[in-house]
Amino acid sequence: MFIKIKETKLPRLYVNCYGKGDPTVVFESGLGCTHFDWEVVQNQISKNTRTFSYDRSGLGNSDTSDLPRSSLDQVHELHTVLNKSKVKAPYIIVAHSIGGYNARLFAGTYPKEVSGIVFVDCSHENQFEDRVKRSSSKEIEIVKSQSIGSEQTFDELLISAKQVKEIREKDALRNIPIIVLTADHKGEKSSTITEETWLNYQNDLVSLSDYSKHIIVEDSGHYIQKDKPQVVIDAIKGIVNGMSK
């Protein structure tokens, strides 16, 4: 269904709400991706509790927007849409790739509303700045002149990373159960980052909470929710079942 936020400047956003019960599992997609990435996982999780997926502004079935597109802007947008859709907390946020920025900012901005996070091969706040440090001046200019996706430029990604660094100072995830799913990226190669560096980033995400678990997902590419959906399903159920104890 479409949600139009009449009292704000937000465009129409496409949302999917399935299932019943608490908590609500909120799916946050990667850069330039849509709710379709979560179809298999959402269909299974909605059999046991309420689920919510959506397309951010300018993606999928949602309308485009001229509003700022930093991660914090997107988090405020998501919170508004959840309220308008009457989808109440507590939330378990399941985030993929750059969506991890949004998950962390959401938890830091609305700490009483988040009861758990599943990071699905998520981005780290240092990775883009580190890329700049590893690049020549010419390479930096080429990268910055490019649009990374249909949502954000490279400069906007750097702004989002800075927002995550600032929210990290609140230590908002310290007592929140989190599961970090890290793909082994079998068959994938990256010219911008090594597997060792990526694993170090992932281990740092694990350190954000005293109630964390790290799972290396074998034989999976970056899109674990597509390559190994059952792993994501089991991780979500693990946090949901932990809340019921």
Rounded distance between C-alpha atoms, residue 98 and residue 71, angstroms? 9
Query: pLDDT tens, 135-159?
Result: 777 766 766 665 556 678 888 889 9
Q: What is the pTM of this model?
A: 0.91
9 band by pLDDT with thresholds 50, 70 and 90:
low
Rg (CA), the chain: 17
Taking residues 182-207, what's their average pLDDT? 87
Share of the chain above pLDDT 90, in %: 69
**Among the ranges given (21-35, 142-156, 157-171, 204-218), the one the predictor scored with the smallest mean pLDDT:** 142-156
Domains of the chain: 2-236 (3.40.50.1820)
Query: pLDDT tens, 74-106?
Result: 999 999 999 999 999 999 999 999 999 999 999
Those residues with Cβ within 8 angstroms of residue 217's Cβ, 6 or more apart along the chain or in another chain: 121, 181, 182, 183, 184, 224, 227, 228, 231
Question: Pairing between strand 13-18 and 50-54?
Answer: antiparallel
Q: Please give the full DSSP string across 150-208, using - where no structure is assigned.
A: SS-BHHHHHHHHHHHHHHHTTTTTTTS-EEEEEE--TT---SS--HHHHHHHHHHHHTT
Residue 5 has pLDDT above 50, yes or no: no
